[in-house]
Structure 1
Amino acid sequence: MKHRTLNLRIRLASLALLAGAGVAVSSAAQAEEEKGTINLAYVEWSSEVASTNVIAVVLEQAGYEVDLTSLSAAAMFQALSTGDADAIVAAWLPTTHAEYMERVGDNVEDLGPNLDGTKLGLVVPEYTDVDSIAKLNDNADSFNGEIIGIDPGAGLMSLSEEVVDTYDLELNLRSGSGATMTAALANAINNEEDIVVTGWTPHWMFARFDLKYLDDPENVYGGAEQIHTVVRQGLEGDMPEAYAILDAFEWTPEQMGEVMLMNQEDDSDPQETAQQWVEDNQDVVEQWLNN
């Protein structure tokens, strides 16, 4: 994200020369520099790629330099607790990331939800006859005896391991990544084959394909969750304006879905997509900036 800030300074300097206001713009650029750099960590889930890049663009618009670091879920929370990361907008609570939040304890501050209406579970194509996790063993051969998962450090995978144990499933939970999971899903649907994957909402795959969650009668995955913004202790004192923007950041699954779908277009770049969404939704962004 740094290169955008540099380009902005160059443009500001050029405008200053043309307008004969070099001193004023130089002072503005210096003030921008003094705001410093904020480090955002995130996991490579399509939802978190979308939200992290959007809030990064907004923070840049406010004059901060922004560094983005992609980490596993465990490493993301660890970086936040040690101060190597300043903030995340990717904490799924109260269930998925509960264990990580307990580990970091008083080293972080939970600013509350930035998105309501999430869901976790096992997902199959709408045409699949199976409707419940409890029926998977009876149809294990239809799914090649496996559940297609994501990265092994994800909270969703820990819950899915618990699901395998609770339901005594005979299917093997296969780890991978969000990208490999959706690729396998797309391939199965193109061939009209059955497949079961670990899934979550919001996710672009629900807009692209006709899918359904399997019933979870034991309620292992829990109910609807929220995605929270969590910051390191001391951020409010160090960067009060950035803290206020992060605290005010809140959007809907539909808005996040717009960004995620844009990110699925050929040759899309998450930073450019976020920039476009921010430009097209300044009324929403102004509420975060003018809190």
Structure 2
Amino acid sequence: MKNWKKKLSFILVLLLIAVLTACGSTNEETNGEESGVSNKELSIGQINWAENIAVTNMWKAILEEKGYNVKLTVLDMGVTIKALESGELDASLEIWLPVQDAHYLKEYQDTVNFSESTWFDHAKVGLVVPTYLEEVNSVDDLNEHKELFNGEIIGFDPGAGTMEVTEQLIKDYNLEFELLPSSEPAMIAKIGEAIGDEEPIVAPLWSPHSVFSKYDLKFLDDPQNTFGGVEKIHHATRQGFEEDYPKVSEWFNNWKMDDQQIGELITYVEGAEDPLDGAKKWIEENQELVDQWVK
């Protein structure tokens, strides 16, 4: 009888341990769902533009500090929008409106969420030339100096909104020029080479951009306003993103930067061996600003 009681007590102890262990696991899982997001992966599209590399790495650093697993996927603009539509991407952080990316908004407004909020409000886009080309100050001057530029406008990524607008500009002004696509780094390298030799070059560019701190460039007047006036930079997300990530959605909507802040971020990112390290350094020095976004 005593042996039977001992066995029963032993079995009860084992059952109690099993129940407590199970409860502990359940509590850990529940707490993890409520306060932790380590299992949640965010996929953000990155375009090889200086400011885009800077802000995508900045948000990767911010979100990973909050417990998210962030994957940056390098794509061109057209593929980025299609990936948002299909749900393969969660977010794209750079949509220029009302002009540069207007055709994407028109085509995908029912299948992609374009934010009403903006994170940069004083962007500018247009054709630029070195300031030493004193005789070229307007798009209207280009045909007169066609031979100076070999009839070429040095472009960047095909499919980018600004490239589409530049093609429209060529039509609007009846320019006898060809737009040559390449990539942003290749275009910037061409600009640097031309300025180093004090040669003429014309290219589509935008501000904010770190190139303006390196070289003396001027925007050409655009009398027909093909490039538009002041552009604002928005973000876009896949459908359902706000429901799946309400906090991140709110943080993106709170995000706001000025010329100095984005300029410094680009400088930090470009000056670091690893862009993420540069972004983290900038965040450390601007923690109060970041805290305003993720409050």
Q: TM-score normalised to the size of structure 1?
A: 0.86
Query: Amino acid of the residue matched to residue 71 of structure 2?
Result: D
State which drifts further: 115-124 or 46-55: 46-55
Q: CA shift at 1:92, angstroms?
A: 0.7
Q: Aligned residue for 1:74?
A: 78
Q: Which of the residues 229, 233, 238 maps onto 2:235?
A: 229
Deviations 1:80-103 (A, max 9, x none): 112111111111111111111222
Q: Partners in 2 of 1:26 and 1:187 — Cα distance? A: 58
Look up the SS of the partner of 2:234 in the other structure.
Answer: strand
Query: Amino acid of the residue matched to residue 125 of structure 1?
Result: P
Where do 1:175-194 residues align within 5 Å?
Answer: 175-194=181-200
Query: Amino acid of the residue matched to residue 236 of structure 1?
Result: E
Q: Which of the residues 100, 110, 115 maps onto 2:114?
A: 110
> Are 1:89 and 2:100 an aligned pair?
no
Q: Which of the residues 259, 264, 280 maps onto 1:275?
A: 280
Query: Amino acid of the residue matched to residue 107 of structure 2?
Result: R
Look up the SS of the partner of 1:264 in the other structure.
Answer: helix
Q: CA shift at 1:269, angstroms?
A: 2.2
> Are 1:127 and 2:105 an aligned pair?
no
Look up the SS of the partner of 1:156 in the other structure.
Answer: helix
Q: Aligned residue for 1:65?
A: 69
Unaligned regions of 5+ residues in structure 1, if any? Answer: 1-23
Query: Amino acid of the residue matched to residue 96 of structure 1?
Result: Q
The answer on whether the counterparts of 1:46 and 1:203 sit within 8 Å (CA) in structure 2 is: yes
Judging changes above 3 Å, is the alpha-carbon distance between structure 1 residues 276 and 27 closer, same or farther for their aligned structure 2 residues? farther
Q: Partners in 2 of 1:191 and 1:107 — Cα distance? A: 48
- The higher radius of gyration belongs to 2
Where do 1:255-274 residues align within 5 Å?
Answer: 255-265=261-271, 268-274=273-279
The answer on whether the counterparts of 2:39 and 2:68 sit within 8 Å (CA) in structure 1 is: yes
Across the two proteins, how many residue pairs are aligned to each other? 266
Q: Aligned residue for 2:251?
A: 245
Judging changes above 3 Å, is the alpha-carbon distance between structure 1 residues 28 and 273 closer, same or farther for their aligned structure 2 residues? farther
User: What is the RMSD computed on CA atoms of the aligned residues?
Assistant: 2.0
Look up the SS of the partner of 2:260 in the other structure.
Answer: helix
Look up the SS of the partner of 1:256 in the other structure.
Answer: helix
Where do 1:11-22 residues align within 5 Å?
Answer: none
Q: Once the two structures are aligned, what percentage of the paired residues are identical?
A: 37
Q: Which of the residues 210, 213, 223 maps onto 1:204?
A: 210
Q: Aligned residue for 1:143?
A: 149
Deviations 1:197-243 (A, max 9, x none): 11111000111111100011111111110110222221122111211
Q: Which of the residues 221, 225, 228 maps onto 1:219?
A: 225
Q: Partners in 2 of 1:189 and 1:217 — Cα distance? A: 26
Q: Partners in 2 of 1:191 and 1:139 — Cα distance? A: 18
Q: CA shift at 1:264, angstroms?
A: 3.4
Unaligned regions of 5+ residues in structure 2, if any? Answer: 1-26
Q: Partners in 2 of 1:35 and 1:113 — Cα distance? A: 29
Q: Partners in 1 of 2:39 and 2:243 — Cα distance? A: 13
Q: Aligned residue for 1:36?
A: 40
Q: CA shift at 1:34, angstroms?
A: 4.8
Q: Partners in 1 of 2:201 and 2:70 — Cα distance? A: 39
Q: Aligned residue for 2:176?
A: 170
The answer on whether the counterparts of 1:262 and 1:268 sit within 8 Å (CA) in structure 2 is: no
Q: TM-score normalised to the size of structure 2?
A: 0.85
> Are 1:287 and 2:292 an aligned pair?
yes
Q: CA shift at 1:27, angstroms?
A: 9.2
Q: Aligned residue for 1:19?
A: none
Q: CA shift at 1:72, angstroms?
A: 1.1
Q: Aligned residue for 1:18?
A: none
Query: Amino acid of the residue matched to residue 235 of structure 2?
Result: T
> Are 1:56 and 2:60 an aligned pair?
yes
Q: CA shift at 1:256, angstroms?
A: 1.0
Look up the SS of the partner of 1:127 in the other structure.
Answer: coil
The answer on whether the counterparts of 2:152 and 2:177 sit within 8 Å (CA) in structure 1 is: yes
